[in-house]
Amino acid sequence: MPERDVTTAQLLLAEYQTVKDEQKTRIGFRDNLLYVTLTIVAAVIAAAAQAKQSEMLLALPPVCVVLGWTYLVNDEKISAIGTYVRDDLGPRLAELAQAEAVFAWEAAHRSDTRRRSRKVIQSSVDLLAFCVVPLAGLVVYWAAGQTTPGLLALSVVEALIVVGLGHQVLSYARPSNSPRPPTP
């Protein structure tokens, strides 16, 4: 039986392919979360309007927070994979290959002059979808005048949780020293 040696370079390339596959899967999942959120928000608003039951809008905050947090965690993992490839895996492979650099795209796409404005716009979209919409739903609920003490207390707690998510969205949008959410 012939002996097969697996080289370190082969292992690193296999690892690269594995983490890039994970990154690609997470990107697709993350991006679909915005569409899912929009669909659910539209359904809740339509149902509340049709039934003339403003308390149905209390479903928006928990849905938006769960989907928003899931979006945020996946977005962070996507970035973490890029950082790992750029700062760890790439340099190790470049050293083995005696090349100056590998995986140049991992750094090149980050130097786009409009990257910062895209990040600001994306953060605004994230805040709108996952925070502003549920807060607007709460304002409509409060303004409708159909509150009960229990639901009013629940709505205040929901508002605080949504504000907390908004803080997290802004915290993770910072380019450096961003905290990492726990792995779900």
Dihedral sign of CA atoms 176, 67, 59, 132 in order: positive
Tallying the residues shown for the chain, one arrives at 184
Residue with more model confidence, 71 or 100? 71
pLDDT band at 177, cuts 50/70/90?
Answer: very low
Q: What is the pLDDT of residue 29?
A: 97
In terms of pLDDT, which residue wins out, 143 or 99? 143
What is the residue-averaged pLDDT of the chain?
91
Predicted model pTM = 0.86
Question: Rounded to whole angstroms, how far apart are CA atoms 33 and 126?
Answer: 11
Phi, psi at 112, each rounded to 5°:
-60, 135
CB 127 within 8 A of CB 166: yes
Domain spans of the chain, in order of start: 8-173
Residue 63 predicted with pLDDT over 90: yes
Q: What pLDDT is recorded for position 109?
A: 78
Average of pLDDT values for 70-85?
95
Tokens of 26: 């997470």
Question: 107-117 burial by CB neighbour count: b if 16+ within 10 A, else e?
Answer: eeeeeeeeeee
Rounded to whole angstroms, the Cα distance separating 81 from 147 reads 46
Token couple for 89: 């895996």
pLDDT band at 5 (very low <50, low <70, confident <90, very high): confident
Residue 176 pLDDT = 54
Question: 135-161: per-residue pLDDT in tens?
Answer: 999 999 999 988 999 999 999 999 999
pLDDT at 178 over 50: no
Instruction: Please state, in angstroms and rounded to a whole number, the distance separating the CA atoms of residues 56 and 151.
Output: 11
